[in-house]
Amino acid sequence: MKDIVSYQIKKVNLLRKMVRASAAVTRQKNTIHFFTEIDVSLPLTVLEKYKQKDGEKLSFTGYLAKSLSKVILNYPAFNSFIAGNKHVFLDEIIISILVERKIGDDFIPEPMVLRDVAGKTIYQINAEIRKAQKVAQEKEEFGNLTNNRVLRFIPGFLLKTFVKFADKNIRMGTKYGKLCITSVGMFSKNPIWVIPHGTATVLLSVGSIIEKTIEKNKKCNYLCLTVSFDHDIIDGAPAARFMNELIEEIKSGECIKDII
């Protein structure tokens, strides 16, 4: 008689169901990925000097959001999405940032929404991110997914239909935006690039930051970054031009030079 292996059964929570449904839908999207390394030594130095001066640690993700917003201003088509036969262009730069939170034994990403990023200072962006992180740690419910009572009653097999509907829905697009940043790779000290899934028109997947020796007695910090584009909207050539501008903007630290 074979030994019976013991096991436990736990209920799959709502956010985990949403992640599964989203992954199943978005793997069918036409997405192109760009992988790059960016020297972020200058912006990291500026952020560290600000911390030493004021005692506050400004969010590096917030810095990336501000940098992204500046470049997006030059590419209005990248801040758009397709809803049926309509091509919707957003006047406001809205960026969703995935905030990791623990529910039971699971760590689940849930989006927080930064509105009018181009019109906000790095301080305002940082305050919103820190507030969201604090709420995510202290409260069981956070954001519009865990607070959504309707989603709780949608059967699992219908969640894929909901995700497909939400991806093409104008109201959802204007609420969450079509620009997104996820920072899952920043938890590693080894070089990591992320191949993501998502419904965003432009998605920044932030990998690890690694130290490299460039020349004798000179070390630099390089950010591993993946930028994904919805190929239904964005072609390879404009995506490459966008990448060049984004890399220079992030590398320069231009939007935070005045904080020290």
Residue 225 lies in a domain: yes
pLDDT tens digits, 42-83: 999 999 999 999 899 999 999 999 999 999 999 999 999 999
Domain with 192 in it: what CATH number?
A: 3.30.559.10
Q: What is the pLDDT of residue 163?
A: 81
Q: Given this model, what pLDDT does residue 149 score?
A: 54
Q: How confident is the model at residue 152 (pLDDT cuts 50, 70, 90)?
A: low
The three-point CA angle 77-78-82 to 5° equals 75
Nearest to 252 by CA among 34, 44, 77, 36: 44
Q: How far apart are CA 199 and CA 196, in angstroms?
A: 10
184 within some domain: yes
**Domain count within the chain:** 1
Rounded to whole angstroms, the Cα distance separating 99 from 113 reads 10
* pLDDT number for residue 177: 95
Q: Does residue 184 have a pLDDT over 90? A: no
Residue 123 in any domain: the answer is yes
Q: Is the pLDDT of residue 197 over 90?
A: no
**Average pLDDT in the 21-43 region?**
90
- The answer to whether residue 12 sits within a structural domain is no
Stronger pLDDT, 161 or 95, i.e. the higher one: 95
* Residue 83 forms part of a structural domain: yes
pTM of the model: 0.86
Please report whether residue 19 resides in a domain.
Answer: no
pLDDT at 156 over 80: no
Q: pLDDT grade, residue 207 (50/70/90)?
A: very high
Q: Is residue 203 part of a domain?
A: yes
In angstroms, what CA-CA distances link 83 with 66, 71, 86? 27, 24, 5
Residue owning tokens 């301080």: 123
* Amino acid 17: pLDDT: 79
Instruction: Give the CA angle between residues 241, 209, 45 to the nearest 5°.
Output: 90
Q: In this predicted structure, which of 96-100, 126-130, 154-158 has the lowest mean pLDDT?
A: 154-158
**Per-residue confidence (pLDDT) for residue 161, from 0 to 100:** 82
Residue 154 lies in a domain: no
List of long-range contacts for 236-244, beta carbons under 8 Å, 24+ apart = 236/32, 238/75, 238/77, 239/32, 239/34, 240/34, 242/71, 242/75, 242/78, 243/34, 243/36
Query: Which domain, by its residues, includes 53?
Result: 30-142+164-259
When pLDDT is cut at 50, 70 and 90, the band that residue 252 belongs to is very high
